[in-house]
Amino acid sequence: MRKMLSLISSALRLSAGRTGSRVVVSARTYADFTPQATFDIKKCDLHKLEEGPPVQAVLTREEGLQYYRTMQIMRRMELKADQLYKQKIIRGFCHLYDGQEACAVGIEAGINLTDHLITAYRAHGYTLTRGGTVREIMAELTGRRGGIAKGKGGSMHMYAKNFYGGNGIVGAQVPLGAGVALACKYQGKNELCVCLYGDGAANQGQIFETYNMASLWKLPCIFICENNRYGMGTSVERAAASTDYYKRGDFIPGLRVDGMDILCVREATKFAADHCRSGKGPIIMELQTYRYHGHSMSDPGISYRTREEIQEVRSKSDPISMLKDRMLNNNMASVEELKEIDVEVRKEIEDAAQFATTDPEPPLEDLCNHIFHNEPPLEVRGTNPWVKLKSVS
């Protein structure tokens, strides 16, 4: 028996007034929407490549709705983290990802969950795309037992299956990512490692050492520079003699990609993944993106750039607005449907924040747990020789 495919999108608006309440309901069936559309995307700049990713991308309605929801969750989650930080509920380092959502969601759409990913300390978005939940991420930010790292990692040190952090030392995750790629090649499962770093880390010597090793060994590694134009408070023009980060690998092929367009990022990532899986070795991607917040919560973000610059990027290149406009202009979704997603996302974020502020902190006896994996319990020296703590795997 054929199942009837109908998707009802309804937006309920209750406006309470002296005359009572008014309910507005809008409903359209699935058949009213365009199931998929093809979009022109910006051509990538190439280095040591004869051809690059396609200049057109196909987007299905289901993909568009999923990308929109995930990017909205990221955006709202980071704005909530900003609020909790200012209330002093979140403490310590906290680097927010709002503005760069198309990078994380686009990369994930171009690889498999069985592939591997490692990034720097602006990691909340990747923790989400790699399988972490909003509740786990928010609880980790507040240092609670229900956090994804059991409240011990905080903002910079979150982990999930095939996701290796969250790393606090500038550039240090790049050689680690090459090690993961070496394991991928050694195990022969046709997997790869995506290794992310920022423009601020791009001048680190260890990155160039890693390029050399990865190229010699033909490691299946996609090196991705998320160029958000500022390393802390220093613009790329003041920090780098060459801002062509996609050419920095010299002997390694490279792509420069519009990092504000999720479809550009997705298609470039697919291209790079095919390159790695075919045994050609590493490839470099530079994603030209932008962060709306400062470098971290201690940086207001307006001492080295103007409010007008930030507003211009928001109005012309915002990744969520760009996807939303594409879907609405091509009849792939309704305004009411997207508003309904927004309402659901806000509720999910509020529920997660409530959990993150009420969940208990981890007890002291858990302090030294999980030092080793799958080992019998062992004693760990405390703050002095007379204090002993136990570590359980």
pLDDT digits 0-9 by tens, 163-179: 999 999 999 999 999 99
Of 98, 38, 107, 96, give the one whose Cα is nearest residue 71: 98
Residue 337's pLDDT band, with cuts at 50, 70 and 90, is very high
286, 194, 95, 371: CA torsion to nearest 10: -160
pLDDT beyond 90 at 25 = no
pLDDT beyond 70 at 33 = yes
Per-residue pLDDT, averaged over 208-228, amounts to: 98
β-sheet bridge partners, residue 380: 389
Residue 382's pLDDT band, with cuts at 50, 70 and 90, is confident
Residue 16 or residue 131, greater confidence? 131
Distance CA 124, CA 95 (A): 8
Q: What is the CB-side half-sphere exposure of residue 266 using CA atoms within 13 A? A: 20
Looking at residue 373, its pLDDT comes to 85
Per-residue pLDDT tens digits for 95-115: 999 999 999 999 999 999 999
pLDDT beyond 80 at 13 = no
pTM of the model: 0.90
Residue 391 or residue 20, greater confidence? 391
pLDDT beyond 60 at 324 = yes
Per-residue pLDDT, averaged over 36-64, amounts to: 98
Per-residue pLDDT tens digits for 251-283: 999 999 999 999 999 999 999 999 999 999 999
Residue 30's pLDDT band, with cuts at 50, 70 and 90, is low
Which of 22-31, 238-247, 325-334 bottoms out in mean pLDDT, i.e. has the lowest?
22-31
Locate 291 and state its tokens. Answer: 């962060």
Distance CA 223, CA 194 (A): 6
Distance CA 74, CA 345 (A): 10
Distance CA 275, CA 291 (A): 29
Distance CA 110, CA 279 (A): 18
pLDDT beyond 70 at 11 = no
Report the chain's mean pLDDT, rounded to a whole number.
Answer: 92
Looking at residue 359, its pLDDT comes to 98
Distance CA 351, CA 244 (A): 43
Of 208, 207, 224, give the one whose Cα is nearest residue 259: 224
β-sheet bridge partners, residue 16: 21
Per-residue pLDDT, averaged over 129-150, amounts to: 97
Looking at residue 365, its pLDDT comes to 87
Give CA angle at 63 (62, 67), nearest 5°.
120
In the block, residue with structure tokens 């002095």: 384
Looking at residue 24, its pLDDT comes to 39
